[in-house]
Amino acid sequence: MILMMADKLLEKIRDLQFLSVESEQQLLAKVKLRRLKKNELLLREGQPCKHVYFVQSGCIKSVLNDDGKEVNLNFTLANGFITNLKSLRESSPSAYNIQACEPSVVWAFNKDNLFELYKQSEEISGFGRNLLEQLLVEQEDHANIFKLKNPAERYDHIMKNNPQLLQKISLTQLSSYLGISRETLSRIRKIK
């Protein structure tokens, strides 16, 4: 059953790096399946990040608590990876939570287990490098969208490139993510 559920994960891994059957088995032996309830935390603010997660199904958000106000930083849907890179690399306290927006299923890669596998397999090490590069490119693209586009253009970008997100999150979450009020979001949506 677990191996059948790992099909999406293996497909994504293979997109990043060719792995022999032996390397795939080594990697799968160390990954843990987690089923999350809505609002369940994967990472709590203040704790060091020790995992990289692959989202099998559902929606996971990175969310900052700004004096009691929730600021949505990013969302990861099915077939995406999520982690707090800074906290993971430095073993420093996370500045934000990583939380399920809805019931979700994720695969958890423990950092220490990955590092051990990197020593054992050049293929798995290559997977790790390629995954890190992908996460960095995604972060850069995300940052550029928020630096170079106004809120209406950001909303257009989501509609064009990630329309399923609009069906998974509330307007309050979306307005927080776009850095605007709900009223401004309503005006933008009326124009579209």
Residue 3 has a pLDDT of: 57
Q: Which token pair is 113?
A: 């287990």
Helix (H) / strand (E) element for 109: namely strand 104-110
Q: Are 33 and 107 spatial neighbours (Cβ–Cβ below 8 Å)? A: yes
Residue 2 has a pLDDT of: 56
CATH number for the domain running over 2-136: 2.60.120.10
Parts of the chain with a pLDDT under 50: 1
Residue 13 has a pLDDT of: 95
Domain residue limits, the chain: 2-136, 149-192
